[in-house]
Amino acid sequence: VTAVALEGTLLDELRVDGVSVELLLLVAILTGFHGGPERGAITAFFAGLLHDSIVGAPLGLHALVYPPLAVAVSSLELRMLRSTPVTGGLAVLAAVAAGQGLASVVGMLFGILGQTPQAFVRQAVLAGILTAVVAAPVNRVVRWAATGGLPGTIEIRRGAG
């Protein structure tokens, strides 16, 4: 709910060359990363519906794109050997750019968007860069929410009796 409010108000006003931070897409991607494919897909579907409702896109356009992206990120997360802040930032940039690009392509297929491919690529890369800038604090919140605030491992101690 906070991400919807932020994206629909504050982040909508902070635009660079007509492109703003894709906060709901970032939440969908990070939920897939931290929460697994099922939780990521469900969160991504509703994030896509909420995104459509605040930007005026046809309802379901982003809900069609976000869940497969969250599942793909979850699948790739399982295969990464070691993650550093730099590789994590580049991965967020690539995932957001892919999500933005896929949403543009789906919109174009349904006759909604009529831009050139160069404009799609420019907007997708710019959205990825802007979103990667705010990814670190959002990552902490989504990790806490997706894991239920539980630590990664829980040790069970047995009594000495």
Domains of the chain: 2-146 (1.10.1760)
Band (pLDDT 50/70/90 cuts) for residue 77 is low
- Angstrom CA distances, 47 to 11, 29, 76, stand at 16, 10, 21
Question: Where does the chain have alpha helices with state H?
Answer: 2-8, 10-13, 23-55, 61-79, 85-109, 117-133, 135-146
> Is the per-residue pLDDT at 81 higher than 90?
no
pLDDT band at 12 (very low <50, low <70, confident <90, very high): confident
Average pLDDT over residues 89-108: 88
What pLDDT does residue 18 have? 84
Range name among 9-23, 65-79, 115-129, 146-160 with the lowest pLDDT average: 146-160
Residues 6+ apart with CB under 8 A from 90: 132
Percent of the chain with pLDDT over 90: 37
Q: How far apart are CA 4 and CA 51, in angstroms?
A: 7
| Per-residue pLDDT, 75 | 85
- Coil, helix or strand at residue 16: strand
